[in-house]
Structure 1
Amino acid sequence: MCALVVLLALVLTGCSGSSGGADAGPSPEPSGEPSGEWWRPRPGLDWQWQLTGRLDTSVDVPVYDIDGFHHSKETVDALHRDGRKVVCYLSTGAWEDFRPDADDFPRSVIGRGNGWEGERWLDIRRTDVLEPLMAERLDMCRDKGFDAVEPDNMDGYRNRTGFPLTAADQLRYNRLIARLAHERGMAVGLKNDLDQIPDLVGDFDFAVNEQCAQYGECGRLTPFVEAGKAVFHAEYELPTGRFCADSRRLKLSSLLKRYALDAWRRTC
């Protein structure tokens, strides 16, 4: 009888003991470490990065990074049948006049050119405008069956964008992109943005870097490797003999590529 009274009292007061119910106080802050069931690439995986030209699917590597708009679900499915994981390249920090959704971006969020023809920085403070547009792009990647996303131009705050972007603006936006990818069951990589790696390594599943060897910065990617997360790295101007030894020591997945990012590659 006493046990029954106690049980009734617990129900009436909404007490949930140690199970964390509605009256258990505020939920703890997220740790920043992704916990979903998406792919998590480990350090040392070989890869191919091809964004232009006819796709060469004969490169015998476990990871392909390709343009999300240019390739179909059938292409992704074929790579999967060959045992490859496939990364969806998107520009999330810059507007591109050649994309099919270019007219969906209001002029108010389009800033200075970023050095590539037809591309301009975006005002990443305007998440009210950009979040639904980027969600649609990530929906496309998911629907085509991509395993992961490479969001490009993720360091606008370090550049002359035409907007007064801050480091805090960049952190907020980069975390938004990571969350949108994870909500769709895809891994997501941090592209460049070396200064914010300590803050963002927990939000991203791998890193993609250009030219860290040329600028003596590859050691700054160590937090990803120490977290068991791959670093996909490319150089354009240094011969492999100038960076491969360090890449092996740091456990980077390194390539020599042309700026065009066509099929040509040399690997460590």
Structure 2
Amino acid sequence: MRIRPAWPVPWTRPAGVLRRRLRRALPAIVALVLLAPLSGCRTDLTPPGSPTPWPAEYARRWQWQWQLSGPVDVTVDADVFLLDPVRTTSTETAALRARDRRLVCQVQVGSYATTDPDASRFPAAVRGAVVPGRPGSRWLDVRQWDTLKPVLADRFRLCRGKGFGAVALTDADGYLHRSGFPLTFDDQLLFNRQLAALARSLDLSPGLVNDVPQVAALAPDFDFAVNEECIRRRECAKLLPFTDDDKPVFHVEYTGDPTEFCVTTVGYGFSSIRKDRDLDAWREPCPLP
């Protein structure tokens, strides 16, 4: 923060007068510098736009919320909201944007659900195995970019139309699962990079959800990361390519004591919270550094 003198300093002032005035002003200047970090970063942030900016100087200071069930609580004290684009209304996003909150749209890119409004747009040739734990969802053949691109582009446009400035790409790791297709590491890498480029072409900031094995390769292509349970899985260090480049890592644990895992994740520079698995409004954030 640049501190301007409280008075004009003409070059003709005698040195003794200047020294006395500087001595009188010094305590006030020191107080301003010491108190600046305590005032909170949110009031000074540039209001979010499209695509959402992520100022490097705040990379380790975001508070965030991830809500996919229940009425959206727009009063939660968080800078960043990760929400479902179909369930969330334009009224809710407008209320959040009026408070200068950054809005991230969760988009399934490697799978689809039979209940999705656009489910019929995925031809049988790209529909794979059932996603474990989600009987109504199936993996997609991410090798067929020309077929998937128009549908995914419209999903991104829905996000932008509702006021989101960023997209978090979920199920972008089908190669790690029994997807029903012989997907390789390189197949997924190409698909994820194409998605990041597509998001940017639509003025949306792209974020990578999980897919930890590809973080080192994909960090340059994405603006932020969202991670589930890197503490429980013992893989938090693999997310450092994001924080090393002053990019946010939004991290959640569903079990464990925040007073214990926060020490590790805040030390890594992550924005961490504890949530229930149904991702309702409740959250327990880690303190900011």
Both proteins in one fold, TM over 0.5:
yes
Indicate the TM-score class for this superposition, using the shorter chain for normalisation: 0.7 to 0.9
Structure 1: segments with no counterpart, 5+ residues: 1-35
Give runs of aligned pairs for residues 1-268 of structure 1, distance below 5 A.
38-40=52-54, 42-115=59-132, 116-268=134-286
Contact 1:47/1:64 (CA < 8 Å) preserved in 2?
Answer: yes
In terms of fraction of residues, the more helix-rich structure is 2
Aligned residues: 233
- Aligned to 2:265, the other structure's residue is in SS state helix
Relative to structure 1, the CA distance from residue 133 to residue 37 in structure 2 (aligned partners, 3 Å threshold; closer, same or farther) is: closer
Contact 2:110/2:139 (CA < 8 Å) preserved in 1?
Answer: yes
RMSD over aligned Cα atoms: 1.4
Give the partner amino acid of 2:120: D
- Aligned to 1:59, the other structure's residue is in SS state coil
Q: Give the distance between the partners of 2:193 and 2:259, measured in 1 at CA.
A: 36
- Aligned to 1:178, the other structure's residue is in SS state helix
Give the partner amino acid of 2:176: R
Contact 2:82/2:106 (CA < 8 Å) preserved in 1?
Answer: yes
Partner of 2:33: none
**Residue 113 (structure 1) shift:** 1.4
Contact 1:39/1:186 (CA < 8 Å) preserved in 2?
Answer: no
**Residue 151 (structure 1) shift:** 1.1
Runs of 4+, deviation exceeding 4 Å: none
**Residue 198 (structure 1) shift:** 1.2
Give the partner amino acid of 1:216: R
Contact 2:175/2:185 (CA < 8 Å) preserved in 1?
Answer: yes
Contact 1:40/1:187 (CA < 8 Å) preserved in 2?
Answer: no
Partner of 1:20: none
The structure with the larger Rg is 2
**Residue 43 (structure 1) shift:** 2.8
- Aligned to 1:263, the other structure's residue is in SS state coil
Q: Deviations over 1:50-109 (max 9, x none)?
A: 011111111111111100111222221110001201001111111111111111111221
TM-score w.r.t. the length of structure 2 is 0.78
